[in-house]
């Protein structure tokens, strides 16, 4: 499942009567931010407990393995809300992430895309044509 397919499923489950039965637009952007930050707070609390493990500080009720699994789930919860927040904001997350990643790569002079890989030019042309043009121009290739 790619990111676009996941986003479609995520929204479908959010809004479906047999899912959360919660229309995406019935919550404000602030509401979705609150949900996202709640999950990040839960993840941070687990990270704090893993710091206790690292530092030999007592107080945890769960094992390190249990905490690592819990961190994984809280981060996933956060991602799920982040995706819904982006949908609420009408942000095309995969496109925005690629565009932002490539722009920063260009800014720092990092060749983030190996154009010698078959199909990579076409992929980059679809994802971020501006980045492809700049990268080709930098290499002096038409
Ligand atoms: Mg959670």
Express each pLDDT in 7-64 by its tens digit.
Answer: 999 999 999 999 999 999 999 999 999 999 999 999 999 999 999 999 999 999 999 9
Distance 3 CA to ligand 1 centre (A): 21
Distance 32 CA to ligand 1 centre (A): 14
- Quote the DSSP letter at residue 78: H
Cβ-contact 100, 86 below 8 angstroms = no
Distance 90 CA to ligand 1 centre (A): 24
- E strand map for 9-142: none
Distance 72 CA to ligand 1 centre (A): 10
Distance 4 CA to ligand 1 centre (A): 23
In terms of Cα–Cα distance, which of 44, 35, 40 is closest to 84? 35
pLDDT grade for 95, boundaries at 50, 70 and 90: confident
pTM of the model: 0.82
């Amino acid at each position: 499942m790619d990111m676009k397919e996941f986003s479609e499923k995520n929204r479908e489950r959010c809004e479906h009567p047999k899912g959360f039965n919660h229309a995406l637009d019935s919550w404000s952007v602030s509401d979705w931010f609150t949900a996202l930050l709640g999950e990040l707070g839960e993840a941070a609390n687990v990270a704090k407990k893993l710091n206790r493990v690292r530092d030999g500080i007592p107080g945890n009720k769960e094992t390190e393995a249990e905490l690592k699994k819990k961190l994984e789930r809280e981060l996933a919860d956060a991602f799920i809300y982040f995706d819904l927040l982006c949908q609420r904001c009408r942000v095309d997350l995969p496109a925005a992430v690629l565009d932002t990643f490539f722009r920063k790569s260009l800014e720092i002079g990092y060749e983030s895309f190996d154009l010698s890989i078959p199909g990579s030019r076409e992929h980059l042309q679809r994802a971020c044509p501006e980045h492809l043009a700049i990268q080709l121009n930098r290499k002096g290739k038409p």
